[in-house]
């Protein structure tokens, strides 16, 4: 069975708490949420104050609403050096690391294997075959942000649809990895998977393509949680019970 995730922006940057987003996600048939702006002290709000497995998490929220809660950080800056420093600082502290795309950061993100997702790559930048190849080589996921299609209208919506079609063509041509999101900043922005599949059809996605992009968030989280565990050394190698650090 495939698990569908959504990447949300919670209060105070967004309008809804993690708990409210989790509750609505469960009602819409989502299996997990990625909190893009997980706070420094962990994912907490008035309804849940805990840490999961010693890392920032939402164990109590997950238990109450039946959805996985993934801690993440979304790095938004116009300076590649500053972005690199933040990736270095946060990589071992967050399950997922996202970099917001721009003309200054798209190349940096695609060439940096410590980055999980290049968010909104077409909003203030562009993507070409060079970046797609680099992302495929380094395992950096492009984000297809359907939220702007859902929340914009008129000429702006037409431009966003055009950008997404172009991104889809390049990503699929070079077999680059990707995720799909509505990038909700409120529980009112959340959409059920069937609604996102409908949006995907307008830019040429098959049903399975959208589902794969929604599920990729969960696959990334599972992989990174394993890598962040104390037993992990490198892919395929874990520390045994008799091994010790040098």
Sequence spans of domains, the chain: 5-230
Interatomic CA distance for residues 158 and 31, integer angstroms: 31
User: pLDDT at position 16, please?
Assistant: 96
| pLDDT of 49 | 40
CA distance 139 to 34: 18
Q: Are 196 and 158 in contact (CB under 8 A)?
A: no
Among 186, 203, 181, smallest CA distance to 117 is for 181
Give pLDDT, residue 230: 63
Residue 1: the pLDDT is: 75
pLDDT of amino acid 8: 97
Q: ω before 34 within 30° of 0 (cis)?
A: no
Please tell me the predicted confidence (pLDDT) of residue 42. 55
Torsion of CA 41, 42, 44, 50, to 10 degrees: -100
Q: Which fold has domain 5-230?
A: TIM Barrel (3.20.20)
Q: 96 by DSSP, 3-state: which?
A: strand
Q: Do the beta carbons of residue 85 and residue 102 sit within 8 Å? A: no
Dig out the tokens for 137 from the structure. 């080589």
Per-residue pLDDT of the chain (246 residues; tens, 9 = 90+): 789 999 999 999 999 999 999 999 999 999 999 999 987 645 643 333 444 343 344 678 899 999 999 999 999 999 999 999 999 999 999 999 999 999 999 999 999 999 999 999 998 889 999 999 999 999 999 999 999 999 999 999 999 999 999 999 999 999 999 999 999 999 999 999 999 999 999 999 999 999 999 999 999 999 999 998 865 555 444 444 444 443
Indicate the helix (H) or strand (E) that contains 27. helix 18-27
Tokens coding 214: 């929604």
**What φ, ψ does residue 203 adopt, rounded to 5°?**
-115, 10
């Amino acid at each position: 069975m495939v698990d569908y995730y959504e990447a949300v922006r919670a209060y105070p940057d967004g309008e809804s708490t993690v708990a409210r987003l989790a509750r609505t996600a469960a009602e819409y048939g989502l299996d997990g949420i990625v909190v893009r702006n997980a706070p420094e002290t962990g994912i907490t709000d008035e309804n849940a104050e805990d840490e999961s497995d010693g890392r920032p998490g939402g164990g109590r929220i997950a238990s109450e609403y039946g959805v996985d809660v993934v801690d993440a950080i979304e790095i938004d800056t116009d300076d590649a050096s500053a972005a690199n420093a933040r990736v270095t600082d946060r990589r071992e502290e967050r399950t997922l690391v996202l970099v917001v795309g721009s003309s200054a950061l798209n190349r940096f993100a695609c060439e940096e294997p410590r980055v999980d997702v290049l968010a909104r790559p077409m909003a203030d930048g562009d993507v070409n075959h060079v970046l797609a190849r680099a992302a495929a080589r380094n395992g950096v996921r492009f984000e297809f942000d359907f939220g702007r299609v859902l929340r914009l209208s008129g000429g702006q919506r037409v431009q966003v649809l055009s950008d997404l079609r172009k991104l889809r063509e390049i990503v699929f041509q070079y077999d680059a990895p990707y995720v799909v999101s509505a990038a909700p900043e409120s529980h009112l922005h959340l959409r059920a998977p069937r609604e996102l599949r409908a949006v995907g059809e307008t830019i040429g996605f098959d049903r399975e393509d959208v589902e794969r992009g929604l599920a990729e968030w969960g696959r990334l989280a599972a992989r990174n949680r394993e890598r962040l565990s104390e037993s992990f050394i490198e892919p395929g190698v874990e520390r045994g019970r008799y091994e010790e650090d040098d």
